[in-house]
Amino acid sequence: MTPIPHGGGAAEAQRRYGLGNQPLIDFSALVNPYGPSRSVIDAARASLERVHAFPEAGCPRLVERIAAWHGVPEDRVIVGAGTSELISLIGQSLREVLALHAYENGDPAMAVSHLVEPSYGEYRRASVLNELRIETWGSHVLRWRQDVFPQNAAGIFWTGHPDNPTGRAWDRETLLQGVDASLGLLTVVDESCLPFFPDEEERTLVPAAAQRENLLVLRSFSHVAAIPGLRIGYAVTSPDMVVRLKQYQSPWSVTSVAEAAALAALEDVDSYLESARRLTNETPRLAERLSSLPWLRPVWPERKRPVDAPPLAHFLLVSLSETAWTSVQVHEALARRGFLVRECSDFRGLEVGALLTGHDQLVATQGHLRITARTPSENDRLIAALTEVFSAEPPR
């Protein structure tokens, strides 16, 4: 299976469109646009003095700090080279046991990996690479109901909280009811972007994961602490699952530089949470401005956001409608104007020409874009560039 496209990739866009070294303002990656704090940068630089030595396997200092931060036992925490490594380890570590489970149930081809798509592509990739047969639940894109939990299923259920690229978050109690009613299912809840929510403390499932055998919560330093280049994240889950994952993990997958930066980030939580709160105020304004463009519509049931919807994530998914422009064409046109957005054709259900369905609606689209909120001035510049693009005819 080919690598999954992701946000970022300015250098690749520059090569593809022949832009040379033209700078691009990155609206495509789900990263805090205010960047890492000075203390995080200083800690990473200082750690370079120790690169002559191997990192300490398992990151015990960071595990201790994470456990204290969340108020959970240390044996419930595992650190990895980003959530991507941990997602891969989940698939690897459960491959044989799930194959045996399917065989014992008399159906070697039974589905043991469960998804609600469109969603983050690494869940599907880890499943395919580990030969975990996939079943997709609740494929309607225009849905806000949360009745898509795979009841009576076995294996792994992968879900974002909030989900990428839709930005939808679970009601905590609804999700926990599904977890507790499905003991044969490991529910993997990806909370990489949850710190951008103003009510994060009421929504997180980290404390619940430390008390259950069938729940695993992923967390990342990439997005809110703005250090994706250092590749570091963690999971909170049962002690048995931590041991299982460590059996498949390389001993030095996390560098000493990444660990030092993560430790500094946890000592300076107020800094990055303050920048996240700034985005909390800016994202609704960006959503309103995007919704005012007649060629775009937010991916929720109506033009007006539902009153029972969760808070906005720091990113927005929009459909192209009532325009001849496709999302692929807009992506290139914006790049040539210095803006990089996430073109979503590789997400299942968001392809160019895809029909959005749900709530008795059928919406024809020309594709989709995911746009991460940045500073107010940068967001205004993007709106001006989008207006300029749509005012012209698309290339033939």
Residue 1: pLDDT band with limits 50, 70, 90 = low
CATH 3.90.1150.10 fits 10-35+271-390, yes or no: yes
Which pLDDT tens digit goes with each residue over 41-51?
999 999 999 99
- Which of 1.10.357.10, 3.40.605.10, 3.40.50.1000, 3.40.640.10 is the CATH number of 38-269? 3.40.640.10
- pLDDT in the model for residue 350: 93
The overall average pLDDT reported for the chain is: 93
Beta strands in the chain (DSSP E): 25-26, 77-80, 113-115, 134-136, 155-160, 185-190, 215-220, 233-236, 296-298, 315-320, 339-340, 342-343, 355-358, 361-364, 368-372
30 in helix, strand or coil?
coil
Would you list the domain boundaries of the chain? 10-35+271-390, 38-269
The 3-state DSSP class for residue 257 equals helix
Q: Are 270 and 195 in contact (CB under 8 A)?
A: no
Q: Contact 367/321 with Cβ under 8 angstroms?
A: no
The pair of structure tokens assigned to 367 is 């594709």
pLDDT tens-place string over residues 96-147: 999 998 888 888 889 999 999 999 999 999 999 999 999 998 767 777 678 8
DSSP 161: T
Cβ pair 286, 280 in contact under 8 A: no
pTM, rounded to two decimals: 0.95
